[in-house]
Amino acid sequence: MEKISVGKLLKKRRNESSLTQRQVANQVGVTEATVSRWESGDIDNMRRDKIASLANALKVSPLLIMGIDDTEQIYKPVNSDELELLDDYRGVDVEDRNMIRSMLKRFKIGRFQSMNQAW
């Protein structure tokens, strides 16, 4: 199976996000022509700040843009509340982490069951 180029992945993700090259360019702070050249492979080295902005605009991992990781997972930036939770989680022992995971699963199941009961 042939590996898809980074430029084609960028174009694919932009189209999946229903964004024009102009919209991406405005979000990243470059010209529309630059976005076109990234997608066509004419420009294959980007500045780090542009990689980060483009990853955010397309909701992909910066590693995908750098050609390091070819998984097309949707990238979700972490907000400050999530960072705080992650710091708290890292500060507890393994037993407490397991309990937290168990509680989260129960919340998910409970929410699913209550949604089914509403039907």
Q: What is the DSSP letter of 30?
A: S
17 in a structural domain: yes
Kindly report the backbone phi and psi dihedral angles of residue 71, in degrees, each rounded to the nearest multiple of 5, phi listed first: -80, 135
Q: What is the pTM of this model?
A: 0.58
Give residue-wise pLDDT tens across range 77-117: 677 888 888 889 999 999 999 999 998 888 887 765 655 55
CB-CB contact of 37 with 49 (8 Å): no
**Positive or negative torsion for Cα 27, 29, 35, 38:** negative
CATH of the domain at 35: 1.10.260.40
27 in a structural domain: yes
C-alpha 33/C-alpha 31 separation (Å) is 5
CB-CB contact of 77 with 56 (8 Å): yes
Whether residue 58 sits in one domain with residue 84: no
Whether residue 86 sits in one domain with residue 61: no
Give residue-wise pLDDT tens across range 14-48: 999 999 999 999 999 999 999 999 999 888 788 98
Going by C-alpha positions, the residue among 58, 66, 75, 73 that lies closest to residue 5 is: 66
Whether residue 98 sits in one domain with residue 58: no
Structural domain harbouring 20: 6-65
